[in-house]
Amino acid sequence: MNYNVNEKGYYGDFGGAYIPEMLYPNVEELRQNYIKVMQEPDFQKEFKELLKEYVGRPTPLYYAKRFSEKYGTKVYLKREDLCHTGAHKVNNTIGQILMAKRLGKNRIIAETGAGQHGVATATVCALMGLECIVYMGAIDIKRQAPNVARMKMLGATVVSAESGSKTLKDATNEAIRDWINNPTDTHYIIGSVVGPHPYPDMVARFQSVISEEVKKQLLEKEGRENPDYVVACVGGGSNAAGIFYHYLDKPEVGIIAVEAAGKGIHSGESAATSALGKEGIIHGSKTLLMQTDDGQITEPYSISAGLDYPGVGPMHAHLFRSGRGEFISVTDADAMQAGLDLCKLEGIIPAIESSHALAIFEDRKFRKDDVVVVNLSGRGDKDLNTYIEYFKLA
């Protein structure tokens, strides 16, 4: 089976470009050019240089000794938390800003939930001297004040999305509406492997640097390129796509996707899309999404704003349906505890998103000599307030 995108923009049953005609010229321009542009030597050169000199890649593949001892297996952490701006999101924004420049666009828009993608976009716009407008749900603006301030310091305009439920899905709607209203000079930097084709594939390719590095690093450390498992949290699925990418066609590598169960899958407050979602259309893509029987998109919940999305990217919907991926969901409580455990065991404060991936070891048992690589997608600085409130640390 093929786990990558086909020439029509589908992963199995999922993907495509279900967009209004107003977006067609922009999306089509991108579709026709993205692979060609990415393969140009000078694009590759600039992309690699920025990832090295500006983002700080390659990020370490760190053997987590005490964490491994606790769970009786060999756990490596891919340290995306050490990227400039604090998460993997910047790999994609670097790639897309270079793409936007080559397509002649001078105005950049983005959506953001927790603010990580907004900060990563504002950062690369500052770097390139381009105008930057970030849409963010009114509720998220209140929850994520430090990231709002960071975006403003970086010169971005933050626009409050006041429609619908005023969170990530609505911020995405507003960004898409902005693009409809600005059809010639604007590029939309989507923050995950979601949206109409070619976005899921383009973002996955930019994030694939993560597994490209893991292969080399693991060869040095373990004498083999392939771990037994790769594990990542899934909001839209970009950090997961990045660490799965070069292993999709390696059946000997188990793929584990971790979703946010919120207060429990059946609590009515959850973001576990594979468990609760049905096939449908969200933000221009046919995928699994949480919705009512009538096809209205419902509001997800997770303590982690980055996982608080009612869909998953079409690649992940396909990994789920085909059985290639193992999907596990983790509650707020278990994720928070796993985050705190990592602080105490390894001296690393993880983003709450990443803590979800760390939490599976309590119940999901691995063999003693299994090599398990967990994508530590981001650092926890942005989540300090949530950690403080949750554990009454202050």
Partner 1 sequence: MNRINKKLQEDKKLLSIYFTAGYPKLEDTVPVLEELVKSGVDMIEIGLPFSDPLADGPTIQESSTTALKNGMTTTKLFDQIKDIRKTVDIPLIVMGYFNPMLQYGVEKFCKACSEIGIDGLIMPDLPLAEYEEHYKATFEKYDLKMVFLITPQTSDKRIKQIDTASDGFIYMVSSASTTGKTSGFSNVQREYFERIDALNLKNPQIVGFGIKDEETFKAATKTAKGAIIGSAFIKMLTEKGIEGISSFIKSIRP
Ligand X SMILES: Cc1ncc(COP(=O)(O)O)c(C=O)c1O
What are the residue numbers of the active site?
89, 111, 377
The nearer residue to partner 1, 293 or 363, going by C-beta atoms, is: 293
Picked from partner 1, ligand X, none, the partner binding residue 184 (CB below 5 to 8 A depending on kind) is partner 1
Other Cβ atoms less than 10 A from the Cβ of 210: the count is 31
Other Cβ atoms less than 10 A from the Cβ of 160: the count is 16
Q: 258 forms bridges with which residues in the sheet?
A: 233, 328
Task: Give the footprint of ligand X on residues 333-352 (CB under 6 A).
Answer: 351
d(CA 282, CA 14): 11
Picked from partner 1, ligand X, none, the partner binding residue 151 (CB below 5 to 8 A depending on kind) is none
Task: Give the footprint of ligand X on residues 70-89 (CB under 6 A).
Answer: 87, 89
Q: Residue 330 interacts with ligand X (CB under 6 A)?
A: no
Site pattern 294..313 for ligand X (x: CB under 6 A): ------------xx------
Please check whether residue 349 is in contact with residue 300, taking contact to mean a CB–CB distance below 8 angstroms: no
Picked from ligand X, partner 1, none, the partner binding residue 284 (CB below 5 to 8 A depending on kind) is partner 1
Please check whether residue 27 is in contact with residue 196, taking contact to mean a CB–CB distance below 8 angstroms: yes
Q: How far is the CB of 194 from partner 1 (least distance, A)?
A: 13
Estimate to the nearest angstrom the gap between the alpha carbon of 252 and the chain centroid.
24
d(CA 135, CA 158): 6
Binding window for ligand X (CB under 6 A); candidates: 30-38, 101-109, 124-132, 234-242: 234-242
Task: Give the footprint of ligand X on residues 123-152 (CB under 6 A).
Answer: none
- CB-based burial of residue 362 (10 Å sphere; 0-12 exposed, 13-18 middle, 19+ buried)? middle
Give the length of the chain. 394
The nearer residue to ligand X, 180 or 343, going by C-beta atoms, is: 343
Residues that bind partner 1 (CB under 8 A): 16-22, 24-25, 163-164, 169-170, 173, 176-177, 180-184, 278-284, 291, 293-298
User: Which one-letter amino acid corresponds to residue 13?
Assistant: D
Name, in order, each residue with C-beta under 8 angstroms of 73's C-beta and a sequence gap of 6 or more: 361, 365, 366, 367, 368, 369, 370, 372
Q: How far is the CB of 6 from partner 1 (least distance, A)?
A: 14
The nearer residue to ligand X, 134 or 240, going by C-beta atoms, is: 240
- CB-based burial of residue 337 (10 Å sphere; 0-12 exposed, 13-18 middle, 19+ buried)? middle
Binding window for ligand X (CB under 6 A); candidates: 37-45, 59-67, 114-122, 264-272: 114-122
Q: How far is the CB of 135 from ligand X (least distance, A)?
A: 14
| Token code pair at residue 204 | 């996955």
Q: How far is the CB of 192 from ligand X (least distance, A)?
A: 3
Of the candidates 68, 144, 192, 285, which one interacts with ligand X according to CB under 6 A?
192
Picked from ligand X, partner 1, none, the partner binding residue 351 (CB below 5 to 8 A depending on kind) is ligand X
The nearer residue to ligand X, 206 or 361, going by C-beta atoms, is: 206
Of the candidates 74, 79, 117, 150, which one interacts with ligand X according to CB under 6 A?
117
First to last CA, the chain: 52
Binding window for ligand X (CB under 6 A); candidates: 147-155, 231-239, 330-338, 340-348: 231-239
Long-range interactions of 137-142: CB distance < 8 A, separation 24+: 137/113, 137/161, 137/165, 137/166, 137/167, 137/168, 137/170, 137/171, 138/162, 138/166, 139/165, 139/166, 139/167, 140/112, 140/113, 140/114, 140/115, 140/166, 140/167, 140/168, 140/171, 140/305
Q: How far is the CB of 183 from partner 1 (least distance, A)?
A: 4
Name, in order, each residue with C-beta under 8 angstroms of 57's C-beta and a sequence gap of 6 or more: 51, 83, 91, 209, 213
Binding window for ligand X (CB under 6 A); candidates: 9-17, 111-119, 220-228, 251-259: 111-119
| Token code pair at residue 382 | 């942005």
Picked from ligand X, partner 1, none, the partner binding residue 239 (CB below 5 to 8 A depending on kind) is ligand X
d(CA 277, CA 292): 9
Picked from partner 1, ligand X, none, the partner binding residue 173 (CB below 5 to 8 A depending on kind) is partner 1
Binding site for ligand X (CB under 6 A): 87, 89, 113-114, 116-117, 192, 233-240, 306-307, 351, 353-354, 377-378
